[in-house]
C-alpha cells in the first residue's frame, strides 16, 4: 500500500489544494477518472459559456433591425462553433494533466476511487492511504424515474454540450438554470424549444419577481409548460415523445428530435462509498462538513458540489482556500465565510443575484425595504433597447444594510459586482448611492435602484 501526505479526490477545485501542498514539498496523490479540470472546465461553466456567446451573437444579429440595421442574413455553422470550443477545452484539460504528471511531488491516478477504510482508497488495482484526504468529487446529473426513459437515447448537459449537429427540436425536462442556459443556446441558434417544468415558474430558486419575469419572457420565445410532470417517454417515427401530465390531470404528448434531462444534480458519495471511511452524509447524499470544511472523519475535508452548500465554481474555489489553510495550518484554522456569495445564470436575459430573496426575508420575518428600477429608464438601457430588465434591491429598513440584490437583463452578471463588494465590506445601501456612477453607463440602473428604496 502506497502512502501519501495528501490524497485529493477530484481534479476540479481540489487541484488548488493539491498544487499548494505539492509546492510545499508534500507527497500528493490526485485521483480522477475523467479529464482534468473538473465539471467547470469540461462539461460546465467554460464550454457552456463559450457556446452561449455564439447564441448571444446570433441573437444580436437577429435583433439588429431594432437599431436600424438590416442584416442580409447569416448562417450558423454549428459544427464549427462546437469544434472550436471543444478544442480549447480539451487542450486546457490536457495541459493541466501534463503539468500534474511533470510535478515530482504529485502522482496522478486516472481511475475511479472507492473508500475501503479510514483514509484508505482502492484506485484501480492499487491501494493508497493518505495522512490527509480532501474530497472534491462533485456531482452528476440526476436521472428521474420516468417510465421508458431508460430505453431512450436521452441527453444530459454533459452530452448536450458536445453535440456536433444542431437538433431541429429539443424538449427539456426541468426548468432550472441548466435548462435556462441551454434553451437559450440551442433556441437562439435555431432549434425549437419546449421546457417541461413541474413548478409554477422557471428558475424558482431566484427572487419571486425575477422568476416570474423570466418565465414571462421565455414564454414569448419558447413553448414553456409549467405545472407539468413527465410521466412517460417513448420513441416514435425517429422522434422522442414525452407524455406530460398537468396538475389538473390533463395530458399532452410532446414530440422532439432530442430530449435533455435537466432535473438537478446528485452527489458522487455513493460511488466513493464514503460510509466505509466514517464520513457522514445528509439525507440527500451530500457530505456533511462543519464551518472548517471538516467531515466527521478525522483529517478528511470536503469541498465543492459534493458538499452541497453552493454548487458554483467560485464557491468551490473559496472553499479550497479554507481547506488548504485548515489542513496544513491547523493552529491558524479559520471558519469559512460565505458572506455575499453571488451567482449568475447566463441565459437571455441574464440573471444575477446576491443575498436573500424577498420570499426568504418574509419567511424570516425581517423588516425590509425594496428598491426597483427598470433598465429602460436609464440612458444606456434605452440605447440598448432593454425593455424588460430591472434591478431589485432589498435593505434592512432600520439599519439600511444591504440584504439582497437581484438583476434580470443585459450584463446582469457584471452589474451585480459593486453590490457584492459593498455587502462583503458590510456597507449600507448609502455606499452605492453615495458613489458617483458614470453617466450614461449601464451601471446607473443599479445606482437608481438603490436610490429608489423607500425606508
Euclidean distance between CA atoms 33 and 24, whole angstroms: 25
CATH 3.50.50.60 domain extents, the chain: 2-141+266-332, 149-263
Among positive and negative, which fits the CA dihedral 129, 133, 138, 139? positive
CA–CA distance from 397 to each of 243, 263, 401 (Å)? 48, 38, 8
pLDDT tens for the chain, residues 1 to 455 = 999 999 999 999 999 999 999 999 999 999 999 999 998 889 889 999 999 999 999 999 999 999 999 988 789 999 999 999 999 999 999 999 999 999 999 999 999 999 999 999 999 999 999 999 999 999 999 999 999 999 999 999 999 999 999 999 999 999 999 999 999 999 999 999 999 999 999 999 999 999 999 999 999 999 999 999 999 999 988 899 999 999 988 899 999 999 999 999 999 999 999 999 999 999 999 999 999 999 999 999 999 999 999 999 999 999 999 999 999 999 999 999 999 999 999 999 999 999 999 999 999 999 999 999 999 999 999 999 999 999 999 999 999 999 999 999 999 999 999 999 999 999 999 999 999 999 999 999 999 999 999 98
Backbone conformation region of residue 403, classed left if phi is above 0, alpha if psi is from -120 to 50, else beta = alpha
Q: What is the CATH number of domain 342-451?
A: 3.30.390.30
pLDDT score of 43: 86
Beta strands per DSSP E along 325-419: 342-345, 351-355, 368-374, 390-396, 402-408
The angle formed by the CA atoms of residues 131, 136 and 140, to the nearest 5 degrees, is 145
* Percent helix, strand and coil across the chain, each to the nearest 5: 35, 25, 35
CATH 3.30.390.30 domain extents, the chain: 342-451
**2-141+266-332, superfamily in CATH?**
FAD/NAD(P)-binding domain (3.50.50.60)
Beta strands per DSSP E along 287-330: 300-302
453 within 8 A of 393, measured Cβ to Cβ:
yes
Question: Domain 149-263 belongs to what architecture?
Answer: 3-Layer(bba) Sandwich (3.50)
Euclidean distance between CA atoms 257 and 301, whole angstroms: 43
CA–CA distance from 62 to each of 25, 184, 294 (Å)? 55, 14, 51
Estimate to the nearest angstrom the gap between the alpha carbon of 122 and the chain centroid: 30
Bridge partners, 258 (sequence order): 170
Beta strands per DSSP E along 247-389: 251-256, 258-261, 265-267, 300-302, 342-345, 351-355, 368-374
| H or E element at residue 130 | strand 126-135
Residue 22's contacts (CB-CB under 8 Å, 6 or more residues apart) are 28, 103, 105, 106
pLDDT score of 73: 79
Which residues are catalytically annotated? 439
211 within 8 A of 202, measured Cβ to Cβ:
yes
Euclidean distance between CA atoms 332 and 334, whole angstroms: 6
Beta strands per DSSP E along 137-236: 139-141, 169-173, 192-197, 223-226, 228-236
Euclidean distance between CA atoms 401 and 347, whole angstroms: 30
The angle formed by the CA atoms of residues 232, 237 and 240, to the nearest 5 degrees, is 35
Among positive and negative, which fits the CA dihedral 367, 368, 369, 372? negative
Among positive and negative, which fits the CA dihedral 201, 202, 207, 210? negative
340 within 8 A of 159, measured Cβ to Cβ:
no
Bridge partners, 261 (sequence order): 173
Long-range contacts of 19-26 (CB under 8 A, 24+ apart): 19/103, 19/106, 20/324, 20/328, 21/324, 21/328, 22/103, 22/105, 22/106, 23/105, 24/328, 25/105, 26/105, 26/328
Amino acid at each position: 500500500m502506497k502512502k501519501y501526505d495528501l490524497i485529493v479526490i477530484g481534479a476540479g477545485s481540489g487541484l488548488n489544494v493539491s498544487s499548494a501542498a505539492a509546492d510545499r514539498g508534500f507527497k500528493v496523490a490526485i485521483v480522477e477518472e475523467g479529464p482534468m479540470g473538473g465539471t467547470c472546465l469540461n462539461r460546465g461553466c467554460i464550454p457552456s459559456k463559450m457556446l452561449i456567446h455564439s447564441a448571444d451573437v446570433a441573437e444580436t444579429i437577429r435583433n439588429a433591425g431594432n437599431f436600424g440595421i438590416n442584416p442580409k442574413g447569416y448562417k450558423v455553422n454549428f459544427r464549427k462553433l462546437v469544434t472550436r470550443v471543444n478544442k480549447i477545452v480539451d487542450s486546457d484539460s490536457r495541459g493541466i494533466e501534463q503539468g500534474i504528471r511533470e510535478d515530482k511531488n504529485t502522482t496522478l491516478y486516472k481511475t475511479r476511487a472507492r473508500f475501503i477504510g479510514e483514509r484508505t482508497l482502492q484506485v484501480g488495482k492499487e491501494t493508497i492511504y493518505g495522512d490527509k484526504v480532501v474530497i472534491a468529487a462533485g456531482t452528476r446529473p440526476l436521472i428521474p424515474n420516468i417510465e421508458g426513459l431508460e430505453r431512450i437515447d436521452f441527453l444530459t448537459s454533459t452530452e448536450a454540450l458536445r453535440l456536433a449537429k444542431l437538433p431541429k427540436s429539443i424538449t427539456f425536462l426541468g426548468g432550472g438554470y441548466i435548462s435556462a442556459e441551454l434553451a437559450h443556446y440551442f433556441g437562439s441558434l435555431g432549434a425549437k424549444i419546449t421546457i417541461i417544468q413541474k413548478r409554477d415558474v422557471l428558475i424558482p430558486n431566484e427572487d419571486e419577481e425575477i422568476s416570474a419575469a423570466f418565465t414571462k419572457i421565455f414564454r414569448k420565445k419558447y413553448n414553456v409548460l409549467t405545472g407539468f410532470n413527465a410521466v412517460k417517454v417513448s420513441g416514435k417515427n425517429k422522434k422522442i415523445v414525452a407524455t406530460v401530465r398537468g396538475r389538473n390531470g390533463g395530458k399532452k404528448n410532446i414530440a422532439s428530435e432530442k430530449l435533455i434531462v435537466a432535473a438537478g444534480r446528485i452527489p458522487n458519495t455513493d460511488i466513493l462509498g464514503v460510509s466505509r471511511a466514517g464520513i457522514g452524509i445528509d439525507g440527500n447524499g451530500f457530505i456533511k462538513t462543519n464551518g472548517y470544511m471538516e467531515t466527521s472523519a478525522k483529517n478528511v475535508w470536503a469541498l465543492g458540489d459534493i458538499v452541497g452548500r453552493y454548487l458554483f465554481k467560485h464557491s468551490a474555489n473559496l472553499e479550497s482556500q479554507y481547506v488548504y489553510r485548515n489542513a496544513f495550518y491547523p493552529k491558524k484554522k479559520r471558519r469559512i465565510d460565505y458572506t455575499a456569495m453571488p451567482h449568475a445564470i447566463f441565459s437571455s436575459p441574464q440573471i444575477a443575484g446576491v443575498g436573500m430573496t424577498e420570499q426568504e426575508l418574509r419567511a424570516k420575518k425581517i423588516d425590509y425595504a425594496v428598491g426597483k428600477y427598470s433598465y429602460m429608464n436609464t440612458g444606456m438601457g434605452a440605447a440598448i433597447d432593454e425593455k424588460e430588465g430591472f434591478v431589485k434591491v432589498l435593505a434592512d429598513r432600520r439599519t439600511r444594510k444591504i440584504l439582497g440584490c437581484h438583476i434580470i437583463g443585459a450584463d446582469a452578471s457584471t452589474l451585480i459586482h459593486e453590490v457584492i463588494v459593498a455587502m462583503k465590506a458590510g456597507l449600507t445601501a448609502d455606499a452605492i448611492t453615495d458613489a458617483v456612477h458614470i453617466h450614461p453607463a449601464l451601471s446607473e440602473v443599479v445606482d437608481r435602484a438603490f436610490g429608489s428604496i423607500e425606508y
